[in-house]
Amino acid sequence: MEQTKRQPRKLGWRFVLLAVVLAVLISGVVRSIWLDVYFIPSASMEPLFRDGDRILVSRTDFQAEPVRRGDVVVFDGRGSFAPLNSGNGPVLEALGGLGHWLGLSGGENTYVKRVVGLPGDRVVCCDEGGQLTVNGKPLHEPYVYDGDAPSDQKFSVTVPAGRLWLMGDHRSMSADSRSLLGAPGGGMVPLDRVIGRPVRIIWPLDRFTAVPRPSAATVTTMNKNGQ
């Protein structure tokens, strides 16, 4: 009788273990192909994202429709933005990867910024009105953090083929393409390093909301009244 009582107990633990392993495997497949969760570790994308937000990122949106100006993108910064990091050892890197998997920290080489310049665009700061210009036209940027200038750093760049010029919405708090003008690659991020597009804030719950994609008509020529 004792043996018959213990056997279901053993099978129960095996079933639970198998269920956990399958759940992890399924989660890994989903997160590598369709959707992933990322942690926002700074204020560089305020007011859209706040420090501590968790965001759901679609890996397939840009397969259906290419990246366009004004899009917010999550990307792998190795070879472009990664020099901003001091660099960690393999143990800390592994812990960072685990933290990202659990949604407790940002990925070591993963960033979120907004597309300001597409391949071939000439991006300049700034015109007489203090606006960024793209291909000679003032850029209307309603997403920039209230009170921030479009940029306190002057620059004039032409985005190479296959790359993007990216900036944070909280310009005074963002280390972005401007910060790497003198580095290899000039802060331009390869298109093939884009991981996906944030589609929803999932934490904290009081900020649970969809992240809309901006209109395709982002660049506008503004009149003297800024309209």
Q: d(Cα 178, Cα 130) in Å, to the nearest integer?
A: 16
Give start and end residues of each alpha helix (H) in 2-110.
2-33, 61-64, 90-101
Beta bridge partners of 197: 58
5 is catalytic: no
Q: d(Cα 110, Cα 121) in Å, to the nearest integer?
A: 24
Active-site option among 42, 80, 113, 151: 113
Contact by Cβ (8 Å): 130, 149: yes
Active-site option among 44, 58, 80, 174: 44
Q: d(Cα 124, Cα 151) in Å, to the nearest integer?
A: 10
215 is catalytic: no
Strands 194-203 vs 133-134: parallel, antiparallel or unpaired: unpaired
Q: Which amino acid is at 183?
A: A
Catalytic residues: 44, 113
